[in-house]
Structure 1
Amino acid sequence: MDEKMLKKLAHYRVLYAEDEAGVRKNVYELLSLLFKEVYLAHDGEEAYALFEEHHPDLVITDIKMPHLSGIELAKKIRQNTAHAHIIMITAYTEVDFMLEAIELSLLRYIVKPITESKLFDALEKFLQASEKEHIKALAPEWHYDFLQKSVINGLDVYELTKKEAKLIELLLQKDSIISYAEIEEKLWEGEYMSLNALRLMIKNLRKKLPEGVLKNIQGIGYKL
């Protein structure tokens, strides 16, 4: 796994469910080096409780566990979260389970024994799927990363301030004009917004965006 992938994984939280103590310990130690947070479950019921509490970005679960199997866990998660990313750990002999799992749109299957190579391949798949959700196009070659709060142009990455990121996200989500009143409410959060402060923020933000992408609608607000 290259350094770029390692930096990306460090932004995410993962839930890992495994009832076999030895396997759980080894995989947990590896995941702890890669992810921002690792929530550890000894069975399916504990895993679901942790999922409900923390809403992790990724779930990695064994298929056979006491109280609640990996399949049952995935079904419960799918009832409320259609787009949850789930990786299932299986064995070659579990054909019936595999056929049932196909309907759950799982991200990837890892066949035991779990190796670093198999795990890294699955995590790369997770990153690819996750990036499609949180990276939005601003212009040809230019993208905004919701997770890292940055603008990307090829290999160039422009980190945004809290207010800059909020404005870009409002514009992308609303896909229409954002009024001065909305900007004051959402970005200044109840504090007074002077015209000078707004102009300075916009001036600095435009340096991090493709030319002409952020437009001022005179007397109303801004749009992409």
Structure 2
Amino acid sequence: MKNDFINKLNAYTVLYAEDEDGIRNNIQEILTHLFKEVICVKNASDAYMKYLEYNPDLIITDIKMGNETGIDLLKKIRKSDSKTRIIITSAYTDLEYLLQATELHLIKYIIKPITQDKLMEALEAFINSYDTTKIYNLIPNWIFNFSKATISNSKEEFTLTKKENIFLKLLISKNRIITYEELETNIWDEDSIMTANAMRLFIKNFRKKLPKDFLKNIQGVGYKLVRD
């Protein structure tokens, strides 16, 4: 499995609903090694409560859990949420289930048994559902999510200011030194002035959210990223 793929998954939270203990425990073990946070539940009612509490990026749910169904759960979620990604797992290949599931805008429909290959294929589809230009691997285990304005590693997540978010995207997209003039033009707005003190404070706070020695000052010119 590619490290780049694993690093991208590590930026997200997943909610997994499955009523069969053996299946749930096996899949949970795999997901725990891939995602930033994994929330596991046994039924649709608990899944909905955890969805409201955690607002996960991805929901993986079985279609039938006792007297409840994953379809009803997802229909309830889709009434107000069209963005959360969804993967359904099921032992059923019934056309009615498939048609209902299609209306829920799924990432993938996995027919049980859930093999690792099937799961990884579905998770790759999950990653591909995003605009990949919005997810960057800074260095191993450090992820920059442009759309969420966050930098995360295996232990912490930092929320970027608007200026920090724009500056980091500029550094990555240009892949060269960003001059002081470019910094002032692109980052500072018309209502503020980029004084020397303001810039020093901005860079000092920005560096606290980056990998150590990741942002280098080129004296008298500007800043660039160091990825080696």
Match of 1:188 in 2: none
The aligned counterpart of 2:33 is 33
Q: Cα–Cα, structure 1 residues 48 and 149, in superposed 2: closer, same or farther, change >3 Å?
A: closer
Q: CA deviation at 1:59?
A: 0.4
The corresponding residue for 2:99 is: 99
Q: 1:74-223 maps to which residues of 2 (within 5 A)?
A: 74-132=74-132, 134-135=134-135, 145-146=145-146, 149=150, 166-167=162-163, 169=165, 178-181=189-192, 195-200=195-200, 201=202, 207-208=223-224
TM-score by length of 1: 0.67
Give 3-state SS (helix, strand or coil) of 1:199's partner.
helix
Residue 67 of structure 1: CA displacement? 4.6
- Counterpart AA for 1:52: L
Map of 1:14 onto structure 2: 14
Distance across 2 between alignment mates of 1:89 and 1:117: 14
Q: Distance in 2 between matches of 1:43 and 1:162?
A: 33
CA contact under 8 A between 1:107 and 1:126: conserved in structure 2?
yes
CA deviations 1:6-38 (Å, max 9, x no partner) are 111112110000011111111111111111111
> Is contact 2:8–2:135 with CA below 8 Å preserved after alignment?
no
- What is the CA–CA distance in structure 1 between the aligned matches of 2:62 and 2:12, rounded to whole Å? 20
Q: Structure 1 residue 60 and structure 2 residue 56: aligned?
A: no
Aligned residue for 1:24? 24
Tell me how far apart the structure 1 counterparts of residues 70 and 189 of structure 2 sit (CA, whole Å).
Answer: 44
Q: CA deviation at 1:43?
A: 0.5
Report which structure shows greater RCO (CA 8 Å, sep ≥6): 2
The residue type paired with residue 178 of structure 1 is: D
Partners of 1:14 and 1:56 within 8 A in 2: yes
- Matched residues in 1 for 2:132 and 2:3: separation? 20
Q: Deviations over 1:151-184 (max 9, x none)?
A: xxxxxxxxxx966x53154799xx9983445x9x
Quote how far apart the aligned CAs of 1:95 are: 2.0
3-state SS, counterpart of residue 80 of structure 1: coil
Identity of aligned pairs, percent?
40
Distance 1:67 1:46, change over 3 A: farther
Deviations 1:86-106 (A, max 9, x none): 000023433211111111111
